[in-house]
């Protein structure tokens, strides 16, 4: 591809010299050559864009199928930045950071987004994306600072509030987690925000051993997002701890049937099989990091 670009650039420079030397006199052959170069470049851009999309789709499939420990982190939902020409170039680094997060390169995203914020320190979009990149690396304190900055500027930003709630949950600050997640449920109609608010509230109440409340929130999250397999897993866990073991197995078997390639479906199947053998499944919270 580098050689092709170099060849096209050389052809362009040759045509440019010819046009300038002829003082823009009409020349059908020269015009045709210029249009050929334009069509070649335009066609290549279209092919590269499609290839880029195909690569991103393949990465997503690979991430879903690889044998890794499932994570509780919210699914990345940052809107793609609009790239525009600016004299400091911040938007280019924002777009680059977004793309790297989408492809799973969180360290590269953090580097690009840090550069964007050096150029545009007051960008809430940059702060939010940087928070995502850090949270996905488990850099919770740094991510929390960025999301709190975003909320200070945009109190109605539901996804930023969800992420703060998730980080508080991870850090064991359950009171603040409930406050942020409940506020996100009250203030926003975004389906994704409601999905994760319900799911994380279920986790908080499971940790506080309030299993009936946890079940309500997990059921709501399943209604909002039937493909959020971890909700089935955690629902089964809450039911098991509440002594409703037959219902727990039903929940795990439902989760196992959603997507056999999803690591949470695998864990659901393992829990159901363990129960069917008459054994006691391990506490879900303790097994999440394994």
Full-model pTM: 0.68
Contacts of 209 (CB under 8 A, 6+ apart): 241
State how far the Cα of 90 lies from the Cα of 123, in Å rounded to an integer: 9
pLDDT computed for residue 288 by the predictor: 44
DSSP string, the chain: -HHHHHHHHHHHHHHHHHHHHTTT---HHHHHHHHHHHHHHHHHHHHHHHHHHHHHHHHHHHHHHS------SPPP-PPPPPP---TT-HHHHHHHHHHHHHTT-HHHHHHHHHHHHHH-TT-HHHHHHHHHHHHTTT-HHHHHHHHHHHHHH-TT-HHHHHHHHHHHHHTT-HHHHHHHHHHHHHH---HHHHHHHHHHHHHHHHHTT-HHHHHHHHHHHHHH-TT-HHHHHHHHHHHHHTT-HHHHHHHHHHHHTT-TTSHHHHHHHHHHHHHHTTPPPPPHHHHTT-
Query: What's the pLDDT at 226?
Result: 93
pLDDT at 78: 57
Determine the Cα–Cα distance for residues 196 and 217; give it in Å rounded to an integer: 10
- In sequence order, the 6+-apart residues with CB closer than 8 A to the CB of 289 are 69
pLDDT value of position 76: 58
Task: For the chain, 290 residues long, give each residue's pLDDT as a single digit of tens.
Answer: 544 777 777 877 887 777 777 655 667 777 777 788 788 877 777 777 777 766 766 665 555 444 333 456 666 555 555 545 454 578 888 888 888 888 888 999 999 999 999 998 888 989 999 999 999 899 999 999 999 999 999 998 888 999 999 999 999 999 999 999 999 988 767 788 889 999 999 999 999 999 999 999 999 999 999 999 999 999 999 999 999 999 999 999 999 999 888 888 999 999 999 888 888 776 544 344 33
List of residues 6+ apart from 149 with CB closer than 8 A: 124, 127
Parse the chain into domains and list their residue ranges. 1-66
């Amino acid at each position: 591809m580098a050689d092709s670009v170099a060849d096209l650039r050389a052809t362009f420079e040759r045509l440019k010299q010819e046009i300038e030397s002829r003082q823009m006199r009409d020349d059908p052959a020269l015009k045709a050559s210029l249009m050929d170069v334009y069509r070649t470049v335009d066609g290549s851009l279209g092919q590269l864009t499609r290839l880029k999309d195909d690569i991103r789709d393949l990465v997503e499939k690979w991430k879903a199928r690889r044998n890794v420990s499932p994570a509780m982190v919210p699914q990345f939902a940052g809107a793609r930045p609009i790239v525009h020409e600016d004299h400091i170039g911040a938007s280019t680094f924002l777009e680059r950071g977004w793309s790297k997060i989408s492809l799973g390169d969180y360290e590269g995203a953090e580097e690009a987004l840090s550069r964007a914020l050096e150029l545009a320190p007051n960008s809430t979009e940059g702060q939010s994306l940087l928070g995502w990149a850090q949270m996905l690396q488990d850099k919770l304190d740094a991510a929390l600072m960025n999301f709190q900055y975003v909320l200070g500027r945009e109190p109605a930003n539901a996804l930023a509030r969800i992420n703060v709630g998730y980080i508080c949950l991870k850090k064991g600050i359950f009171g603040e987690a409930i406050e942020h997640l409940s506020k996100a449920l009250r203030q926003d109609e975004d389906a994704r925000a409601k999905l994760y608010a319900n799911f994380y509230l279920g986790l908080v109440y499971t940790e506080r051993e309030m299993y009936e409340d946890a079940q309500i929130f997990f059921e709501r999250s399943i209604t909002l997002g039937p493909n959020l397999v971890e909700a089935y897993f955690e629902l089964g866990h809450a039911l098991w701890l509440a002594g409703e073991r037959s219902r727990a197995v039903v929940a795990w078997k439902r989760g196992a049937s959603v997507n056999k390639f999803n690591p949470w479906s695998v864990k659901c199947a393992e829990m159901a099989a363990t129960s069917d053998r008459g054994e006691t499944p391990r506490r879900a919270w303790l097994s999440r990091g394994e």
